Amino acid sequence: MGNTKQKRRFNVVDALIILLILAVIAAAAVFVLSKGVGGRKSNTFEIEYVVELRTVRDEFADNIKVGDRLVDSAAKYQLGEVIAVSTSPATFTGTDLVNGALVYCNYPEHSDISLTVKASAETDSDGMYIIDSGYRISVGSTMYIRTPDFVGTGYCTRFKKTEVR
């Protein structure tokens, strides 16, 4: 009586498992490398951009301070550091019912806030500016922002490159 050793055969299920493992490893590698871990990208540069927040109640119009970190409320992208804040009375455009002319006046108890923000950015394959490896920024884009003491919605109105790394 002999002992026949059962031979393990490589089958389709084993092949599928190996492919799945390789796919997960590849996805993890892409994720880690796209975050720029361990190295600088050659197209990283500094930008400054301006966010305008319109018609903010005066009672918390002064809540944003220079040095505050700006964060995207929705997906928590780090949008940079506030380097300048300016507030001005919010404006309202009305119509003079007598002569039909446009009238520009202050919106009582509300202010417009202009934030200048400094951030690191890179360009994607379409040439768009990307902050924090995922947040696309451009003039006119709506920004849902938060700082430690403020939440609001504004628009990017200007930006410029300041330094190439």
- Contact between 155 and other proteins (CB under 8 A)? no
Nearer to other proteins, 128 or 151 (CB): 151
Q: Which one of the spans 42-50, 116-124, 126-134, 141-149 is the region binding other proteins (CB under 8 A)?
A: 141-149
Encoded one letter per residue, x for contact with other proteins by CB under 8 A and - for no contact, window 46-85 reads ----------xx-xx--x-----x-x--------------
Measured from the CB atom, the residue of 14 and 124 that comes closer to other proteins is 14
Chain-centroid distance of CA 137 in Å reads 7
Calpha distance 16→31 (Å, rounded): 22
Residues with Cβ < 8 Å from 6, sequence gap 6 or more?
none
3-state secondary structure of 106: strand
CA 165 to chain centre: 20
Residue with tokens 């490159």: 161
Contacting residues toward other proteins, per CB under 8 A: 14, 17-18, 20-21, 24, 28, 56-57, 59-60, 63, 69, 71, 92, 94-98, 101-103, 105-109, 146-152
